[in-house]
Amino acid sequence: MLIAFTGQVALAQYNYRWGNQHRQRVEMIVGGDFVVTMNDAQPVIKNGAVAINNGKIVALDTEDKILAAYRASKRLPGEGKVLMPGLVNGHSHTAMVLFRGLADDLSLQDWLQNYIFPAEGQFVNENFIRVGETLACWEMISGGTTTFVDMYFKPDVAARVVERCGLRAVIAPSSIDFPSPGFRGWDDAFAAAVDFVKRWKGRNPRIIPALAPHAPYTVSPEHLTQAIQAARQYDVPLTIHLAETQTEVQDIQQRYNATPVQHLENLGFLESRVFAAHVVWPNESEIALMAKRGVGVIHNPDSNLKLASGFAPVPAMVQAGIQVGLGTDGAASNNDLDMWEAIRLTALIHKGKSLDPTTLPAKTVLRMATLGGAEALGLADKIGAIKVGLQADLIQVDLTSAHLTPLYDVISHLVYAAKAQDVDTVIVDGQVLMSERQVFTVNTEQIRREAIRIGEQIQAELRPSN
């Protein structure tokens, strides 16, 4: 018996050593009861896992097969969780979290001209951007956003914050024809934006510099042409607000005898490097034109509803083949950076508008929040799906809460029931930014204190004197 037992131990030790020697070493293995890949080749893997090395996905399969083929120094179990791509927030003005709730229940033009533009001129400085950007990164990490677009001011400050916080971002300094924080007008603002693009392109793979002429109604035709020519010259993305309100459509029609989309087409502006925010009021021919030109569109249901801008024809745009992603817009007009709200609203409002419950099914909307957003931004070769060779930008969503019990269809749950607080783990470029709801890359108590102080200062200075 002793000889037999000794032989069994020796055989087990041999098999253990042999197995370890022949399993490929990777940095991390992450699991999930469900791996929702957004990859048509392997849409949902039950009891799955992903192997990660050098910030990239090297394998995905059932957990048993991954563990048989790979060994890792770090393993994140997936019991009770969904593993899926991180969310892509395709349009935000990130540091505007510090204006959250400053001016509500107003039309877009009233909100911008009489409240936001003056407040920005008075309060936006480097410290405002540092604190606001960090607060926003904390909020987005907590909600499972791994990539976002920031169309705002002082891009160097924003980029340094994103570097520290670990997220991926398209940083697009806003350029406009009239004075903005730190600038007299278009010439110096746009020159600074181009300088930022030249200095940051290729500097950090998680920071994608871009150009952002604000909108057709705030930027002249000559300057719009200058912006798209510079985007081509430096081979960077360009983002713009477009056809957001009926007022904008009427204004551009009066000025240039064309609708906003046709106005940009007349300038030779529309092409695949461009992604437009809102696009609430395109007509049928303009939808076909944007599809033909490869223009991406970012749908922002929260702010479109809050500012009463209208209902974007998202189903028609998707049907036409436009790459449509989702965004939160800035927290001054939303009032948060919660992509799960954008997901749920998108799935619901277009059903109500069309009176057709089959409009924009759950899978389509979840794709818009992940791979669709990546496609709209021109980043689908890097992010948006769980696929070998893509960056490991992943989240785990906890399924154990009451509002996610029982479970029949995991994608239905993610679209119609999941909430930001259900996100348990966030990984970007293979680095864990949050685990068990603890954010590792932001000093949350300190940034909360600093944000409160800035809010108190803004409130005191805006308070009418007696």
pLDDT in tens, 35-64: 999 998 889 999 999 999 999 999 999 999
- Is pLDDT of 339 > 50? yes
What's the rounded mean pLDDT across residues 152-166?
98
Residues 292-310 pLDDT 10s: 999 999 999 999 999 999 9
- Is pLDDT of 172 > 80? yes
Residues 211-228 pLDDT 10s: 999 999 999 999 999 999
Nearest-angstrom CA–CA distance, 45 and 64: 12
Q: How many CB atoms lie within 10 A of CB 77?
A: 13
Token pair for 118: 């003056």
Nearest-angstrom CA–CA distance, 168 and 206: 5
How confident is the model at residue 341, as a pLDDT? Answer: 98
Residues 136-151 pLDDT 10s: 999 999 999 999 999 9
Q: How many CB atoms lie within 10 A of CB 369?
A: 29
Q: 3-state DSSP call for residue 272?
A: coil
pLDDT confidence bin for 462, thresholds 50/70/90:
confident
Could you tell me the sign of the dihedral formed by the alpha carbons of 161, 432, 207, 136, in that order?
negative
Token pair for 87: 């969310």
How confident is the model at residue 45, as a pLDDT? Answer: 98
What's the rounded mean pLDDT across residues 325-354?
96
Nearest-angstrom CA–CA distance, 277 and 241: 5
More confident call, 16 vs 179: 179
How confident is the model at residue 262, as a pLDDT? Answer: 98
pLDDT confidence bin for 5, thresholds 50/70/90:
very low
- Is pLDDT of 464 > 70? no
How confident is the model at residue 16, as a pLDDT? Answer: 42
pLDDT confidence bin for 108, thresholds 50/70/90:
confident
Annotated binding site for substrate: 120, 214, 244, 329
- HEC letters along 221-248: HHHHHHHHHHHHHHCCCEEEEECCCHHH
What's the rounded mean pLDDT across residues 394-422?
98
How confident is the model at residue 107, as a pLDDT? Answer: 85
Nearest-angstrom CA–CA distance, 89 and 370: 9
How confident is the model at residue 175, as a pLDDT? Answer: 97
Annotated binding site: 91, 93, 120, 214, 241, 244, 329
Nearest-angstrom CA–CA distance, 113 and 100: 17
**Cα 95 to chain center, whole Å?**
14
Q: 3-state DSSP call for residue 381?
A: coil
pTM of the model: 0.94
How confident is the model at residue 21, as a pLDDT? Answer: 60
Which residues, at least 6 apart from 359, have a Cβ–Cβ distance to it below 8 Å?
315, 350, 351, 353
Residues 14-31 pLDDT 10s: 344 445 567 999 999 999
Average predicted confidence (pLDDT) for the chain: 94
User: How much of the chain, in percent, has pLDDT values that exceed 90?
Assistant: 88
User: How much of the chain, in percent, has pLDDT values that exceed 70?
Assistant: 95
- Is pLDDT of 465 > 60? no
- Is pLDDT of 106 > 90? no
- Is pLDDT of 6 > 50? no
b/e map 3-23, b = 16+ CB within 10 Å: eeeeeeeeeeeeeeeeeeeee
Burial of 25 by CB count in 10 Å (0-12 exposed, 13-18 middle, 19+ buried)? exposed
pLDDT confidence bin for 9, thresholds 50/70/90:
very low
Annotated binding site for Zn(2+): 91, 93, 241, 329
pLDDT confidence bin for 463, thresholds 50/70/90:
low
